[in-house]
Structure 1
Amino acid sequence: MTTLGFTFRPDDCTGCKACQVACKDKNALPAGHFFRRVEAFKLDGQIHTYSGACNHCAQPGCVDGCPTGALYKAADGTVQHHAGKCIGCGACIWNCPYGVPFLSPTTGISQKCDTCADLRRAGQQPACVQACITHCLHFGEIGEDAITPVFLPDNDVTTPALRILPGKRQQAKQVQISTRYRNDTHETFLVLGGGVAALSAAEAIRQRNQTAKIILISAENALPYSRPMLSKAPLRGFKPQPFQIQDASWYAQHKIEVWLETGVQALRPAARQVCLHDGRVIDYSRCIYALGAQSYIPPIAGVALDGVFSIRTLEDISSLRRWLIQPRRAVLIGGGVIGLEIALELKKYGCDVTVLESAPMLMGRVLDDDSSRQLAAQLEAKDIAVHTGITIDTLCGDSRVSGVKLNDGRTVGADLVIVTCGIQPNSSLAQQAGVETRRGIVVDDNMQTNFPGLYACGDCAEWQGTNLAVWSEAMEQGRVAGANAAGDPERYHSVPAAVLMNGAIALYAEGDTGKSPDVEQQVFTSTHASRAAFLVNPLSAQHCVERYFFKNDTLVGGVLSGDLTQMRILSQSIKDKLTKRTFLEKINAAR
C-alpha cells in the first residue's frame, strides 16, 4: 500500500516558522496550541531546526487507544479524527508517544493534524507545505531513498510516516543554543524595545549570564512578534497570536521580565538610568537600545485622509482589515517587499491594484536590473499595474481618499492607499541624551554606542553608515549587542537578504547583486523548477531563474526567482566566501 507522509530536509530549513504560522491560521487553533511546531535540534554538532506534526503512523497508538473510534486510519493511510465520535477522554493523548493530540479548550474534544485533508481533496498541498519558503517540507508518497528518523521516541513501535533527508541516522534532540562564554552576575540589563532585535539581545544575555536581572520594556501590548509575517499572512482571517516569536512561558522559563505598554520618556546614559512615562526611574548596568523604527510617511498633502494606511504593527494590520469590507481600488506607494506582498494579497480579494515607486526600479536596493524587470513583469502578468520613477503631488479627497495625483498631471483612482516608503529610526530619545546619531544611532562592530554600557541594534541602529532595516539583520545585531553587553566580545558582519513570498511569486536576494563595480554575473534559467517547488507553487515554479554574482572569483551575492530550494546553500556559500568554481560545483550537485 502507498505510504503517505511528510518529508523534511533540516539542512534547507531556516527556522522561519512560516509552516507553523500557516497551520495555526488555517486550523484557527487557540493560543498555546499547535498542530505543527518548529524546534531546534543538534545534528552532527550543528544546530538545525525541525518542523514536526502528527506523524500519521503505520501503527498509531492514538488509534489503538481510542475507545470510540473517533481516531481512525483513512483509506489513504493518514490518521484522521471524527469529531462527532470523540468524547474527550484523552486516551489518544496518553497513547501517543509524540504528544501530538490535545483537547480543545473550547470544545473539549481531541484535535490533531489531518494533513489538511480538505485541501488535498481540492488538489492542493497541506497549508504548512504551501507556506514553506525553502520547500524543505513536503507531503506525498514516501520514497525508498528516505529513512525514518531515529530521534523520535518509540520509532520502531509506531512506524511514523515521516522521513528526514538527507539520510543521517545521528541521534538528535531539542537543545538550547549555547555558548562557551559564561559570566554569572547580579547586574541589571535593560532591553528597550519589543522587536526581534530586543528579544535576540535578551536571549543572548541570558545564554551567557544565568543570574542577572533582565527586563524587556516595550510600548506595544503584545509580546515580540514576527513583523515580516504582517505582509505575508492573509489579511482576511488575520490572527496575531501565531506570530509571537516566543510565548509567555518562554520568558518565564528564562527569567526575562517583560513590561508591556510601558513607554520610555528619557535616557540618561551618563548616569545609567532610564526614565519611564509613568515617572519611574530604572537604574541599569547595561542597556540595549532596540526601539526599532516607525513607518516613514512622506510629506505629501492628503496623507491624513481616511483610507490611508501604513504597515508596521499589529494595530496597523487590524486597522487595515477593518477597512477591507469589500473590494476596492488600492494604490501601494512604495515598491519594496512589504508593499509588493500587500499588493499581491489585495489582488486575491478582487482589488484593482496599482504600485507607485519613486525609484527607477522595484526593490532596487537588493535586486539587479534584470531581476527587477522580471519581478515587474510577473506583477503585471497578475494584472497589478506597476509604475516606477513616479513623483506624487497629492492625495485627493475630502474626508476619504479618492485618488493619487502625480506630478505629471495624471490621477490614479483609489479607495485605499497604503504607504510603504521605508522606515524612520526611533532614535530621538538617544539623540536628546547626547548619543551620537546620524540616520540612526551610530554603533561600532560590537553594537556599542559612544556611551559605555549602552548598545543599540535593529532598525534604530546605523552601522558603517548603513541602516538596512532588515529582519535577519535586526536579529543578528540583537544577538551581537546582547553578547557584548554580557561581556562576550563578538563582532557584527552584514550580508543583507530579502524574501518576497506571496501567491505566485517567490523571490530571494542576498548579498551584493551587482551594486559594486567589477561584479560578474552567472545566470541559470529554467522553465522547470525542482519537483518540490512545483508541488508547492506550480505557477511560481514555471519560470525559475538563478543569478549568482562573483567578485575577484568569490561569490558575493545571488538572486533566486521561482524556486528557492537553493536558498540555504546560497546563504552559507556567501558566508564561506566560496570561489566561483567551488560554488558552481556545489550548486550543480544540489540540483
Structure 2
Amino acid sequence: MQNLKAVIIGASHAAAQLSVSLRQEGWDGEIVMIGDEPHLPYHRPPLSKTFLSGDKTIQDLLIRPATFYEKQQIEFLHGHVVSIDREQKMLKLANGSQISYAKLALCTGARVRKLDIEGSELNGVYYVRNATDIEAIQQHIQSAKHAVMIGGGYIGLETAASLRKQGIQVSLLETAPRILQRVTAPELSNFYTRIHQEQGVKIYTNICVERLVGSTQVESILCADGSTIPADLVIVGIGVHPNIELAQEAGIEAENGIVIDQYCCTNDPDIVAAGDCTSHFNVHYQRQLHLESVPNANEQAKVAAATLCGKAKQYNALPWFWSDQYDIKLQIAGLNHGYDQLVIRGDLHNSNSFTAFYFKNKQLIAADCINRPLEFMISKKIINDNIQIDPAQFADESIDLQQLTQ
C-alpha cells in the first residue's frame, strides 16, 4: 500500500470514520477526502437541535479538529466530483481538475427530498440537511412568528422542538394519519403527539399541502381541504434521496443506494461505499436495506477501510438510532418492520420513561426506549444474540431483564 492513493468522495460521518480507519488498518499511502462543503466533517444530528438553537457553533460540531487530520496526513479538499473514470482510475471535479486514485471510497450521503408544489421557491422555505441550511434558518428565526414544519418524521419533530424552545409558534403538518407512521407503532405516535401538544405545537395529520402562498416571501400555506395556515417560516422534512447518480454513471450497481456486499465493496473491487448512500443485505432481518443513521455510517466505514487494506472484515451490525426532543431521549434498537406484537414496559400515558418492545413470532426484533438507556443496551443484546424470552416478561417491571440475558 506504500505510495498508493486512497480517495474518499464525501466528507460527513462515514468519510471521517473511513479516513481514520484507513490509517488504523495500516494504509500508509496518501488519503484525500473530497467534500462539497467548506467545513471539515461535522456531527449532523445536532443540526436540528443544539446548532439550530445557537447553543453550538460549527467548530463545536467538528468530528475531529483540523490538527488531527494534519497529524494523520489526511488531506481535505473542498470540491465536487462530477465523474468517475474507472478504467483510468481518475476523478473529474467541477472546476475541471482531475485526481487519480488507486482505491476509491464513495461516501456521497443523501440529499433532501424537495417540495414540488407552487410556492416552494418562495423566500422563507428551508430544508434541514447541512450547516448552511441551518444558518439560513437561524437568520430567519429572529423575525419569524409562525413556523410551519412540513413532515412528521424525526427531523420534523426535532426541529419543531428546537423552534418551540425559542418561543416560536409551530404548526406541524403530516399527510399520513399519524406522525412517525413509517417508523413506529401507533402508541409511540400518540405519545409524541401528546408531548408536542403539551409544548404548544399544533399538529395536523391527514393533511395535504396544495401550495405555499406569498409574493416573494411565504405568508401562509393553503391545504387541499381549503384551510389556510399562517406561516412566515416553512421548514420541510419529507425524507431524502441517496446520492447514487455519480456511481450509476460510472457503471457501479445502485438501486435505492449503492449496492455493497458484506465487505462494503461495490461491483468494482477497487471501490467501496459506506453511509447513507448505500444499500446492503442485512443478516439480522434477511433483506436489503437502505439506512440513514450515524451508527450505520461509522460501522460500514470501518469495514470499508479494512477491505481497502486487504482485510476481510464483515459488516453485520444491528441497526440503531436515536432522537432528542425536549428532555426526552429516544434510543431505537433494531427495525420493527413486520412486528406482530407490541409490549409496553412502564407508564406510556403518564410518564416520559418507558420502552416499547416489538416482537415477531415471539422473538424480539426492535425496541423504542424512552429515557431508558439500560433497556436499550439490553434490547440490543437480546436481538443480536437471538435470546429467547417470553414477551410477557418484558411488561413486568419487577423482572430484571438483564438477568434474563445471562
Q: Structure 1 residue 521: deviation in Å?
A: 2.7
Deviation sequence 1:292-327 (CA, Å, 0-9, x none): 122111212111100000011111111111111134
> 2-side partners of 1:473 and 1:344: how far apart?
25
Q: Structure 1 residue 366: deviation in Å?
A: 2.7
Matches within 5 A, 1:142-541: 185-233=2-50, 235-237=52-54, 238-259=56-77, 261-464=78-281, 465-493=288-316, 495-513=318-336, 515-517=337-339, 519-526=340-347
1:547 aligns with 356
Aligned amino acid, residue 508 of structure 1: Q
Q: Provide closer, same or farther for how the CA distance between residues 438 and 212 of structure 1 changes in structure 2, counting only shifts above 3 A.
A: same
Aligned amino acid, residue 66 of structure 2: A
- Bigger drift between 193-202 and 568-577 goes to 568-577
Aligned amino acid, residue 550 of structure 1: F
| Normalised TM-score (structure 2) | 0.90
Deviation sequence 1:66-101 (CA, Å, 0-9, x none): xxxxxxxxxxxxxxxxxxxxxxxxxxxxxxxxxxxx
| 8 Å contact kept, 1:209–1:486 | yes
Deviation sequence 1:201-238 (CA, Å, 0-9, x none): 22222111241221111121111000001012053434
Aligned amino acid, residue 480 of structure 1: V
Aligned amino acid, residue 509 of structure 1: I
Q: Structure 1 residue 553: deviation in Å?
A: 4.2
Matches within 5 A, 1:120-159: none
SS of corresponding position for 1:542: coil
Q: Provide closer, same or farther for how the CA distance between residues 463 and 358 of structure 1 changes in structure 2, counting only shifts above 3 A.
A: farther
- Bigger drift between 193-202 and 356-365 goes to 356-365
SS of corresponding position for 2:177: coil
2:388 maps to 1:579: yes
> 1-side partners of 2:100 and 2:323: how far apart?
42
| 8 Å contact kept, 2:124–2:234 | yes
Q: Structure 1 residue 505: deviation in Å?
A: 3.0
| 8 Å contact kept, 2:210–2:224 | yes
2:285 aligns with none
Deviation sequence 1:310-363 (CA, Å, 0-9, x none): 011111111111111134101101112221111011112222111111233322
> 1-side partners of 2:254 and 2:115: how far apart?
21
2:284 aligns with none
| 8 Å contact kept, 2:51–2:58 | no
Aligned amino acid, residue 587 of structure 1: L
Q: Provide closer, same or farther for how the CA distance between residues 485 and 234 of structure 1 changes in structure 2, counting only shifts above 3 A.
A: closer
| 8 Å contact kept, 1:305–1:399 | yes
Aligned amino acid, residue 263 of structure 2: N
Identical-pair percentage:
30
Matches within 5 A, 1:17-56: none
Q: Structure 1 residue 578: deviation in Å?
A: 2.3
Aligned amino acid, residue 357 of structure 1: E
SS of corresponding position for 2:276: helix
Aligned amino acid, residue 323 of structure 2: L
Deviation sequence 1:141-196 (CA, Å, 0-9, x none): xxxxxxxxxxxxxxxxxxxxxxxxxxxxxxxxxxxxxxxxxxx5432111110111
Q: Structure 1 residue 395: deviation in Å?
A: 0.8
> 1-side partners of 2:261 and 2:176: how far apart?
30
Aligned amino acid, residue 397 of structure 1: G
Q: Structure 1 residue 509: deviation in Å?
A: 2.1
> 2-side partners of 1:225 and 1:501: how far apart?
18
> 1-side partners of 2:315 and 2:118: how far apart?
40
| 8 Å contact kept, 2:347–2:353 | yes
Q: Provide closer, same or farther for how the CA distance between residues 297 and 364 of structure 1 changes in structure 2, counting only shifts above 3 A.
A: same
Q: Structure 1 residue 415: deviation in Å?
A: 0.6
Aligned with 1:570 (options 375, 379, 403): 379
Q: Structure 1 residue 476: deviation in Å?
A: 1.6
| 8 Å contact kept, 1:309–1:417 | yes
> 1-side partners of 2:335 and 2:328: how far apart?
22
- Structure 1: runs of 5+ lacking an equivalent: 1-183, 529-540
Q: Provide closer, same or farther for how the CA distance between residues 195 and 486 of structure 1 changes in structure 2, counting only shifts above 3 A.
A: same
Deviation sequence 1:381-436 (CA, Å, 0-9, x none): 21211122322111111100011111111111101000111112222211222222
> 2-side partners of 1:525 and 1:287: how far apart?
48
> 2-side partners of 1:565 and 1:526: how far apart?
17
Q: Provide closer, same or farther for how the CA distance between residues 210 and 441 of structure 1 changes in structure 2, counting only shifts above 3 A.
A: closer
SS of corresponding position for 2:155: helix
1:40 aligns with none
Q: Provide closer, same or farther for how the CA distance between residues 301 and 494 of structure 1 changes in structure 2, counting only shifts above 3 A.
A: farther
Q: Structure 1 residue 507: deviation in Å?
A: 2.1
2:367 aligns with 558
Matches within 5 A, 1:63-74: none
Q: Structure 1 residue 365: deviation in Å?
A: 3.2
Q: Provide closer, same or farther for how the CA distance between residues 470 and 276 of structure 1 changes in structure 2, counting only shifts above 3 A.
A: same
Q: Structure 1 residue 376: deviation in Å?
A: 1.2
SS of corresponding position for 2:331: strand
Q: Provide closer, same or farther for how the CA distance between residues 472 and 343 of structure 1 changes in structure 2, counting only shifts above 3 A.
A: same
Q: Provide closer, same or farther for how the CA distance between residues 389 and 498 of structure 1 changes in structure 2, counting only shifts above 3 A.
A: farther
SS of corresponding position for 2:355: strand
| 8 Å contact kept, 1:337–1:499 | no
> 2-side partners of 1:360 and 1:185: how far apart?
57
- Structure 2: runs of 5+ lacking an equivalent: 282-287
Q: Structure 1 residue 572: deviation in Å?
A: 3.3
Asked which structure has the greater CA Rg, the reply is: 1
> 2-side partners of 1:326 and 1:233: how far apart?
19
> 2-side partners of 1:370 and 1:253: how far apart?
50
| 8 Å contact kept, 1:525–1:546 | yes
| 8 Å contact kept, 1:327–1:350 | no
| 8 Å contact kept, 2:257–2:290 | yes
1:143 aligns with none
